[in-house]
A and B are shown apart, each in its own frame.
Chain A
Amino acid sequence: DAGVTQSPTHLIKTRGQQVTLRCSPISGHKSVSWYQQVLGQGPQFIFQYYEKEERGRGNFPDRFSARQFPNYSSELNVNALLLGDSALYLCASSRLGTSFGEQYFGPGTRLTVT
């Protein structure tokens, strides 16, 4: 089975622009989570979606939004980009309900804001 896939791999945007990142979970996984990883730091939780509903939200401004589609894929949108939004954005999928809630991560999208 294919792992978690993310697109695009790299992205360069200008301050003030908007960006959409995409994630396809592992087949059979109904939960998708998004993390932001600034260079040199650990990932920070942004959102979790399960069955198209938001299940968790991290400490990020309203410029960040996400949604999950009927096929369980997900999009992360960031509006009014700031230089500080430059980071690796990771998507992780899981089968909610397992005892460990193990999450499988995608390769990430590297966003650079200039």
Chain B
Amino acid sequence: GIQVEQSPPDLILQEGANSTLRCNFSDSVNNLQWFHQNPWGQLINLFYIPSGTKQNGRLSATTVATERYSLLYISSSQTTDSGVYFCAVTPGGSYIPTFGRGTSLIVHP
């Protein structure tokens, strides 16, 4: 099956810092989503981005499908950004999302 690798696995930031999270995948995909899992376990949809670039406030994401990677940018990080960020991809010919291992982010005040 498709392999999804996220980096870095852990990230510690000071409030106000910027960061870039990466998601590499091993095969062509139909869908790619970024999620934020908050401390209570809820998965929050951040971006549905099989290709191209999207922005939502302090967050933006870019997927380069031909090179099989996606990037999630967090600018001016806040303590509420803490949590785990997951990338999930749906490979071509399938409709089942596969998750990466996530990036655990801690933002200190």
- Are these two chains actual partners, yes or no? no
Which residues on A are within 8 Å of B, measured CB to CB?
A: none
